[in-house]
């Protein structure tokens, strides 16, 4: 497929915006996927190219969060491993099952997350003791959420963030930082499946990826500088937008 310069610039800007939003609260796909479809790209190629460009953003955010001291990748290797396994399984299984059948369930779960967060103003404001062992958490949720991201995807960042806050007792800053490493892991696995299938539009993906790098760096740096309350509000906005996208489009 060929694209004019104006379309490529539009997609670049979508990457910048998505990288910024995704690095703070997840949900960048609600910007980039519609942008890819609006550019006339068929759905299966849009999904594949979306994984390529989002990998740039999640990697940049994870790297910057590590640099800023908000997470330590070496402590999360167990979660990364099981996220990899889960995402590989989900990306394989989705080829034989219709992912659309999950949509109603995901909307319901996101509504619960939104309402619970909105009605619990102190949620994630400060660290608390963990409720389950770290090894059990990273094994179980790496497989579960990794599988979900490989199979379907919308709301993955929100599910990771909420699980980290509720079960490991992280504040929203630390949870947001860890989420990006796990997002990058499942993005890369899914991308590998799409590359093997020959569905990725490389020029578009790389151009949007450059935008993602810029947006993710700005967003993750902002998280480091701002209070947790800002992240909470941003998180609620993104979850609400994800719900609306799944319901209305």
pLDDT of residue 98: 64
pLDDT of residue 92: 79
Start-end of H helices in the chain: 5-25, 29-38, 43-67, 77-93, 103-119, 134-151, 156-168, 172-196, 202-225, 228-248
Q: Which of 190, 92, 89 lies closest to 143 in space, CA to CA?
A: 89
* 69, two tokens: 């001291």
- In the DSSP assignment, the letter for residue 123 is T
pTM for this structure?
0.86
pLDDT of residue 101: 62
d(CA 212, CA 53): 7
pLDDT of residue 97: 65
Q: Say which residues have a Cβ less than 8 Å from residue 29's Cβ, sequence separation at least 6.
A: 18, 22, 50, 54, 153, 154
How many domains are contained in the chain?
1
pLDDT of residue 146: 93
pLDDT of residue 76: 96
pLDDT of residue 122: 78
Please return the burial class of 200, using the count of CB atoms within 10 Å of its CB with bins 0-12, 13-18 and 19+.
buried
Please return the burial class of 34, using the count of CB atoms within 10 Å of its CB with bins 0-12, 13-18 and 19+.
middle
d(CA 115, CA 229): 16
CA 126 vs CA 71, 168, 172, 229: distances in Å:
15, 12, 8, 10
* 157, two tokens: 């960042």
d(CA 184, CA 109): 22
**Under 8 Å between Cβ of 124 and 228:** yes
Instruction: Provide the domain limits for residue 135.
Output: 5-248
Mean pLDDT by groups of 10 residues along the chain of 249 residues: 91 94 84 88 86 95 94 94 93 69 71 86 81 95 92 81 93 92 93 89 97 96 86 86 79
């Amino acid at each position: 497929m060929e694209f004019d310069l104006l379309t490529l610039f539009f997609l670049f800007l979508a990457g910048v915006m998505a990288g910024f939003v995704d690095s703070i609260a997840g949900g960048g796909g609600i910007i980039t996927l519609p942008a890819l479809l609006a550019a006339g790209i068929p759905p299966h190629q849009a999904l594949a190219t979306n994984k390529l460009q989002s990998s740039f953003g999640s990697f940049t955010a994870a790297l910057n969060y590590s640099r800023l001291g908000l997470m330590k990748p070496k402590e999360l290797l167990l979660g990364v491993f099981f996220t990899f396994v889960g995402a590989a399984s989900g990306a394989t299984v989705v080829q034989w099952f219709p992912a659309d059948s999950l949509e109603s369930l995901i909307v319901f779960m996101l509504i619960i997350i939104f309402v619970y967060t909105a009605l619990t103003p102190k949620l994630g404001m400060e660290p608390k003791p963990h409720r389950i062992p770290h090894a059990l958490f990273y094994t179980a949720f790496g497989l579960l959420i990794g599988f979900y991201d490989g199979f379907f995807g919308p709301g993955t960042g929100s599910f990771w963030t909420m699980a980290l806050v509720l079960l490991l007792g992280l504040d929203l800053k630390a949870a947001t930082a860890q989420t990006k490493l796990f997002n990058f892991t499942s993005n890369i696995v899914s991308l590998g499946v799409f590359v093997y299938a020959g569905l990725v539009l490389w020029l578009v993906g790389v151009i949007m990826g450059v935008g993602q790098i810029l947006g993710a760096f700005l967003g993750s740096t902002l998280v480091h500088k701002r209070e947790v309350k800002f992240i909470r509000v941003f998180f609620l906005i993104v979850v609400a937008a994800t719900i609306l996208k799944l319901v209305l489009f």
